[in-house]
Structure 1
């Protein structure tokens, strides 16, 4: 089965470029397009894409609100990659906090676009961890507060779960974490699942943001 993608961007040239790059891959299919976040929900329900490539700035409904709407209303929602012009942008951080799984620069090379979509679909490592750290350093302190610290304390992560979360924040994949901790990959998957459940996080991106905003992990 091909990996299916929905493109959401108010610029037709951007959508055309992304479609050309992605459909050059034999295992990727673009199943639909939308010019605004307001059109996303019915398309997702109709097409059931695996991944949405979502522009962060759109005139009627931006990528932040569209991401919230998808995650709030669609059962078993697709992965969401925010597509943006500037990586160090509070809109991008807002989209990640809203539940997006990662972000992609519009100026990225074709191979980077394909890699990003596949990585987010697989979900076992953090997309562009250095950039996420930079965003957390720039905007995380504005959002992080006592509530975030309290939530982390209530999660009561074990020592090993804390180690796994710190390595996730550095961008290591499950296999890389397993090698670092000298345990099996399935053991790491179990720890990751436990961390996500305890933090109430949809995926590792949300868990890492929670770790930064609570002060559990330092962006530096």
Structure 2
């Protein structure tokens, strides 16, 4: 099955570079491009892609609002936010608007392809450690979260442990080692966490974990 992708960025060079990489794959097809949010909405509606690579800072309708509208449509494409690694002020807002993760604009070709495939399969688009560093940047600016949070009351002790380690940036394999569990068990526990807390994916779990103070739990 071919993964259909739309590229949204106001820099032609960025779109061209991404297209060149993606066109080299057998299972990914770039079906449209846009230089601003308004055009992107039209292109997405017309082409119905599986994944949209979305810049944040664009003229007119920005990437945050465009992501929100795409994700609230009847047939929502999954969105990967594009960012430079100066910790773009709007990336967290993009994730909250419904994006499935983020990607650095200078990402390696292999990372770009892996991100698109991961998001198309329903996963998040960033390595847990990178997700953790980015979100920590924003959370550090906010008031200290409560040590306990009512939203976590539905979790078992082990599910809370898993969420805590996810928040700290550990992969499933690393969590399995830390808790002396199989990786499949960790995946099952994380799935239960997402269901109980009504979270879409790992990225949302990290955000919630920071908001609840789990990154500082001992």
What TM-score do you get using the length of structure 2 for normalisation?
0.83
Moved more, 145-154 or 21-30: 145-154
- Which residue number in structure 2 is paired with residue 91 of structure 1? 90
Structure 1 residues 18-167: aligned runs within 5 Å = 18-75=18-75, 77-124=76-123, 127-142=126-141, 150=149, 152-154=151-153, 156-167=154-165
Distance 2:188 2:6 in 1: 30
Over the aligned positions, Cα root-mean-square deviation in angstroms equals: 2.9
Unaligned residue ranges in structure 2 (runs of 5+): none
Provide the secondary structure at the position in 2 that maps to 1:29: strand
How far is the alpha carbon of 1:95 from its aligned partner?
A: 1.3
Quick one: structure 1 residues 23 and 95, their matched pair in 2 at CA, closer, same or farther if it must change by over 3 Å?
Answer: same
Q: Is the 8 A contact 1:148 1:210 kept in 2?
A: no
Distance 1:204 1:104 in 2: 15
Q: Is the 8 A contact 2:71 2:78 kept in 1?
A: no
Q: Is the 8 A contact 1:89 1:135 kept in 2?
A: no
Residues 73-96 of structure 1 show CA distances to partners (whole Å, capped at 9, x for unaligned) of 334x22211112234122122212
How far is the alpha carbon of 1:21 from its aligned partner?
A: 0.6
Q: Alignment partner for residue 192 of structure 1, among 190, 193, 199?
A: 190
Provide the secondary structure at the position in 2 that maps to 1:31: strand
Distance 1:108 1:101 in 2: 17
Q: Is the 8 A contact 2:128 2:171 kept in 1?
A: no
2:211 is the counterpart of 1:213: yes
Distance 2:199 2:143 in 1: 15
How far is the alpha carbon of 1:9 from its aligned partner?
A: 0.9
- Which residue number in structure 1 is paired with residue 166 of structure 2? 168
How far is the alpha carbon of 1:102 from its aligned partner?
A: 1.5
Moved more, 20-29 or 33-42: 33-42
Quick one: structure 1 residues 31 and 103, their matched pair in 2 at CA, closer, same or farther if it must change by over 3 Å?
Answer: same
Quick one: structure 1 residues 127 and 74, their matched pair in 2 at CA, closer, same or farther if it must change by over 3 Å?
Answer: same
Q: Is the 8 A contact 2:4 2:31 kept in 1?
A: yes
Higher helix share: 1
What TM-score do you get using the length of structure 1 for normalisation?
0.83
How far is the alpha carbon of 1:71 from its aligned partner?
A: 1.8
Distance 1:210 1:172 in 2: 15
Distance 1:53 1:74 in 2: 19
Residues 134-181 of structure 1 show CA distances to partners (whole Å, capped at 9, x for unaligned) of 222221244567699645335x21112112223333445556655664
Provide the secondary structure at the position in 2 that maps to 1:73: coil
